[in-house]
Amino acid sequence: MISLRLKSECDPSLAPFVVRIANEVSQDASDAQLIMEEPNLLGFQSVCGDFHLHNVAPADVAGDVLLVDPRRQIAHRLIRAASQHNTFLITEQCDQLCVMCSQPPKPHHEDMFAHFLAAARLAPVGARIGLSGGEPLLHKKQLFDFIEESLGDRDDLTFHILTNGQHFEHDDLPWLRAHRSKLLWGIPIYSEIPSVHDDLVGKSGAFDKLSNSLSLMGLAGAAIELRTVVMTQNVAGLAGLADFISRHIPFATTWAIMQMERIGYGRMNWDRCFFDSSADFNELGTAIDLMQARNQDVALYNFPLCTVPPAYRRYAARSISDWKQKYLPACAECQLRSDCTGFFEWYREDSGFTEIRPQ
């Protein structure tokens, strides 16, 4: 697993600051220059303050954008230059309690938008940055302002925003329209039956609110990635959900059918929720066939390739972020490995897929 937090040393009286690790000698005031290298210790100089990083090689952090926190003596890797999987955690607050949630909500919110804005300004050219939570739109005004300012400075950036779709209002239409070419909204829908969706997200009335939000987004021409985690509770309804999406949300950019992540509430509820799609792909196959017949895009996220019948493997994306991705010992000789998403770091073989077969 790639650590997103590095042990750091810095004058503890300094305020937190954002810097980019210079690739080479740089005149950019935002860049930190390497001035000292010892085994397991690097020293950097920056206008915000000097600092050290432990247990990392210069090449591993070159071009990365760090938030150095002198009080905690930690450097957060907000953007890893070599990765396509950079996400800002906007908040840990949420107004839903989803049964499979990988990031269970916390009541406290720490406003990090100023740091995120500084980091976005230093991102590699053309970067797509993920914005997640919790529920980012609980802080909608600050979020919209952050996106607007970021794009004002860097119109090469795009954002992929995960939201539960509970907080859009009619007044948001002009803003959504104005920024639609730069934003992809990842929005979960677990069933077309309101009571089933509401039960899975732990919030009465959530489906109705979601439906209104999706209508607004359709009006705005927003790009939508519908997301459905497949579980024992909703797998039998997948074909019905596919039919619903193709009839009522045909403007969605794609529909991602996802496997569970065994962490957070997902770990707590694993035994009653995990659906072993390696043993039974019938419902998934029917749902995919229906989407394809209606000419709507569909994808499989977090499915190891050998758990998917060959005819459907082309839908399986390498979706697991590199920092939390792993492969099993059995994968070492597999010819599909370079195309396979593998497993989450916290996946456990003894309670996971029954059919893992190197190809």
Binding residues vs ligand SF4 (CB under 6 A): 304-306, 327-328, 330-331, 334, 336-337, 340, 342, 356, 358-359
Shortest CB 280 distance to ligand SF4, Å: 17
What residues does 190 pair with on adjacent strands? none
DSSP state of 274: B
Shortest CB 356 distance to ligand SF4, Å: 5
Nearer to ligand SF4, 116 or 343 (CB): 343
Residues 6+ apart with CB under 8 A from 93: 105, 106, 107, 108, 109, 133, 134, 135, 138
Shortest CB 312 distance to ligand SF4, Å: 13
Nearer to ligand SF4, 187 or 306 (CB): 306
Residues in the chain: 359
Distance between CA atoms of residues 33 and 46, nearest Å: 7
Shortest CB 223 distance to ligand SF4, Å: 29
Shortest CB 358 distance to ligand SF4, Å: 4
Structural contact between residues 143 and 89, judged by C-beta atoms closer than 8 angstroms: no
Strand order in the sheet with 158-162: 86-89, 128-132, 158-162, 183-188, 223-229, 254-258, 298-301
Nearer to ligand SF4, 136 or 342 (CB): 342
Distance between CA atoms of residues 161 and 334, nearest Å: 34
Nearer to ligand SF4, 107 or 329 (CB): 329
Nearer to ligand SF4, 163 or 259 (CB): 259
Quick one: tokens of 333?
Answer: 């000789």
Nearer to ligand SF4, 144 or 312 (CB): 312
Nearer to ligand SF4, 105 or 304 (CB): 304
Shortest CB 352 distance to ligand SF4, Å: 10
User: In Å, how far are 9, 29, 173, 302 from 307, measured between CA atoms?
Assistant: 45, 49, 41, 10
Please name the residue that has the structure tokens 């005031």: 29
Residue 309's nearest CA partner among 334, 293, 286 is 286
Distance between CA atoms of residues 218 and 169, nearest Å: 13
Shortest CB 336 distance to ligand SF4, Å: 4
